[in-house]
Amino acid sequence: MSAPTAEQPTIYKGLAGVVVDKTAVSKVVPETNSLTYRGYAVQDLAQHCSFEQVAYLLWHGELPTDVQLADFSQKERANRRLDRTAASILSKIPDTCHPMDVVRTAISFLGTEDSAEDDPSPSANLAKSLRMLAVLPTIVAADMRRRRGLEPIAPHHGLGYSENFLNMVFGEVPDPVIVKAFEKSMVLYAEHSFNASTFAARVVTSTQSDIYSAVTAAIGALKGSLHGGANEAVMHDMIDIDRPERAREWLSAKLDNKDKVMGFGHRVYKNGDSRVPTMRAALEDISAHFGEDKWLTIYAELEDEMGKRTGIKPNLDFPTGPAYFLMGFDIPAFTPIFVMSRITGWTAHIMEQVASNALIRPLSAYDGQAQRSLAVG
């Protein structure tokens, strides 16, 4: 291969392997299968911490003291309600559209209501981040109920973040096994360095645009099936497979057809996703709770066959898809639930970008028409 020149520079397609900036929010080490948020291993956080504690950690760099957590929770609970104008706007969106479009529109609309939208100070951006974190479950739950022809359930200020969300969806707080598994998924989904949606948020922020615009862009990036949308695609595939004895044949057909198998592979992890063991264990807990092992068996068949055929391992969306399905969520709500969690990581990165900004503007190598004369007259 010849050396790169000004005319033919090296192209890093998809920015693969390119380090574009520093971050202190999280560290992904694929070689040791490790992921830390602000220095803490994610599996320890998922085991021992609430989602509220993890949100605080991502934003402030340290876990909260009891007093700080009480203050944080009080503010989060006070921001859960969706105002009447926003609720009315969202109720007019066709219920045939994907719920990610509802969430994207909702965040964009929240920006229009905020008189401090363009204030990029740390305190203003923190307040806006908390507002989005608090109100997103209300939006996602109301939209899920709307699609089921049900009235929304108001937030319950006596309940923690996950319990309140589950109560707004199902009209009751489910068994603690389900609440814990859900909470773990929220912790695992919260942050993952410069993934596509976070990078989209950082690109928008780098132009000195506002936090709502950055989050709106991130939601658009997360929707795609190569990113967050994969958790929905995984469940559609598992339903398509239907019987565990069909799983290997189904997978072979996909690979023979050169199709991507959803829920497998990762840009950074090439030897397995650090979050999968924790989420798979949560899926096992839920499956045992419901006495339903069909999805877990399909999971194991696909994982084994994919390993044998390609060596490619599952990513976080693989166990989360069937876990959310067993919890009782409808499939199009899976990626909006991911948004409820990732809002923490996105906004932590937005605030980091604001604090040390440089316009993000890469170069391209032109391969279009050579310069030519315009035929005039």
Ligand X SMILES: O=C([O-])CC(=O)C(=O)O
Nearer to ligand X, 127 or 268 (CB): 268
Q: Which does 158 bind (CB under 5 to 8 A by kind): ligand X, ligand ACO, none?
A: none
CB 318 → ligand X: shortest distance, Å?
11
| ∠ Cα 65 336 119 (to 5°) | 60
Which among 159, 294, 314 is positioned nearest to 238, based on CA atoms?
294
C-alpha to C-alpha distance for 99 and 88, rounded to whole angstroms: 16
| Alpha carbons within 13 A on the beta-carbon side of 27 | 10
The sign one gets for the Cα dihedral 227, 327, 323, 63 is: positive
Any catalytic annotation for residue 317?
yes
Q: Which of 192, 210, 237, 266 does the annotation list as catalytic?
A: 266
Binding status of residue 263 toward ligand ACO by CB under 6 A: yes
Sign, Cα dihedral of 164, 166, 171, 176 = negative
In the complex, what is the shortest distance from the CB of residue 261 to ligand ACO, in angstroms, rounded to a whole number?
4
Q: Which does 42 bind (CB under 5 to 8 A by kind): ligand ACO, ligand X, none?
A: none
Cα 171–Cα 175–Cα 181 angle in degrees, nearest 5: 105
Among 179, 217, 251, 316, binds ligand ACO (CB under 6 A): 316
Choose, from 210, 237, 273, 317, the residue flagged as catalytic. 317
Query: Minimal CA–CA distance to 133: which of 69, 186, 79?
Result: 79
Q: Is 267 in the site for ligand X (CB under 6 A)?
A: yes
Instruction: Say if residues 89 and 109 touch (Cβ distance below 8 Å).
Output: yes
Residue whose CB is less far from ligand ACO, 52 or 237: 237
Give the binding-site size for ligand ACO (rule: CB under 6 A): 17
β-pair type (34-37, 26-29): antiparallel
CB of 124 to ligand ACO, least distance (A): 29
Structure-token pair, residue 278: 């924790």
Using the rule CB under 6 A, give the single segment among 73-81, 115-123, 145-153, 255-263 that binds ligand ACO.
255-263
Q: Which residue, 105 or 341, has its beta carbon nearer to ligand ACO? A: 341
| Residue from 100, 107, 261, 327 binding ligand ACO (CB under 6 A) | 261
Among this protein's residues, is 98 annotated catalytic? no
Q: Helices 122-147 and 84-91, interaxial angle, to 10°?
A: 40
Could you say which of 36, 280, 317, 336 contacts ligand ACO (CB under 6 A)? 317
**230 near ligand ACO, rule: CB under 6 A:** yes
Reference 254, options 268, 273, 234; nearest CA is 234
Residue 195 contacts ligand X per CB under 6 A? yes
Write down the least CB distance from residue 199 to ligand X, Å: 9
Rounded to a whole number of angstroms, the minimum distance from the CB of residue 259 to ligand ACO is 7
Choose, by CB under 6 A, the member of 43, 125, 274, 315 that binds ligand ACO: 315
Q: Is 339 in the site for ligand ACO (CB under 6 A)?
A: no
Residue 20's binding partner out of ligand ACO, ligand X, none, with CB under 5 to 8 Å set by partner kind: none
CA 143, 200, 64 angle in degrees (round to 5)? 70
Instruction: Find the binding residues for ligand X in span 305-344 (CB under 6 A).
Output: 315-316
> Closest separation between CB of residue 40 and ligand X, Å?
17
Asked if 268 touches ligand X (CB under 6 A), the answer is yes
Q: Is there binding between residue 184 and ligand X (CB under 6 A)?
A: no
Q: In this chain, which of 38, 77, 104, 192 binds ligand X, going by CB under 6 A? A: 192
312 touches, from ligand X, ligand ACO, none (C-beta below 5 to 8 Å by class):
ligand ACO
Cβ proximity to ligand ACO: between 86 and 302 the closer is 302
Cα distance from N-terminal residue to C-terminal residue, the chain: 46
Residues forming the active site: 266, 317
Q: Which residues bind ligand X (CB under 6 A)?
A: 192, 195, 266-268, 315-316
Q: Which residues bind ligand ACO (CB under 6 A)?
A: 14, 226-228, 230, 260-267, 312, 315-317
